[in-house]
A = this chain, B = another copy of it.
């Protein structure tokens, strides 16, 4: 019941000629990443979730959009491989990076079998500008991506679910923002990701009571009205839970 049938992720899928070769070849191993950032909506201007995709320049799925990714090199760890590949393909260097899931279904890639270890990442608006060429790397609204190569659509859906889920119990919203932010900005992050309005008064209490967030003595000037105080994320309390484990995430049901 809770078991699950994965699908197929590739990247650098060097097609192996025939069926017999496929039977014998060891499964390929690739690293891919789903990157999230908040950017203003084209219509409302309010912040919404976006993610960068790269256009495939070879078969299979040539011309279609796919997650950035590539093979795992011999001298890099899994997160190192994810970071390095992100920089190569999109020019992005996310501060937050976490393993999402390993996808290893039999027919994810048409030619050689590929197992993909997928990461997910959050980037701040400043670092979210794509230095790469506009042709083959482009931002898409996270809830509107479609026709992705391989099983990347399901991977994106899962990453989205994980982001929303984790947002509700962990302190990750800060990674979408710069060092200093107002509580209204932080609330907009939650509203954009969870896609529902939040009560400003209750949100304030909730977040100021939480650990790891400190008021600064600075205020955001230049607004139309009363300047709001700027806050900083100082991380969990210095002597917080010394986790012994790799990952840190909940799962439902």
At the interface, yes or no: A139 with Cβ under 8 Å from chain B?
no
CB neighbours (8 Å) of A6 from chain B are 77-78, 246
CB of A228 within 8 A of chain B?
A: no
Contact B102 A117 (CB under 8 A): yes
A132 vs chain B, min Cβ distance (A): 23
CB-CB under 8 A from A240, the residues of chain B are: 253
Known A-B contacts A251-B247, A253-B171; A105 and B77 likewise in contact (beta carbons under 8 Å): yes
Binary contact track A84-106/B, C-beta < 8 Å → 1, others 0: 00000000000011110111111
- Complex contact B29–A27 (CB within 8 A): yes
- CB contacts under 8 Å to B, within A195-253, are 235-236, 240-241, 243-253
**How many copies are assembled?**
2
Q: How many residues of A contact B (CB 8 A)?
A: 60
Contact among B5, B113, B162, B248 for A252, CB-based, below 8 A: B248
The residues of B that contact A140 with a CB separation of less than 8 Å are none
Contact A252 B246 (CB under 8 A): no
Bound-state CA distance A149–B102 (Å) is: 23
- 17 A–B contacts from the bound complex (CB under 8 Å): A2-B248, A3-B97, A4-B79, A4-B247, A5-B77, A6-B246, A26-B28, A26-B29, A27-B29, A74-B113, A76-B106, A77-B104, A161-B244, A169-B252, A243-B252, A250-B251, A250-B252
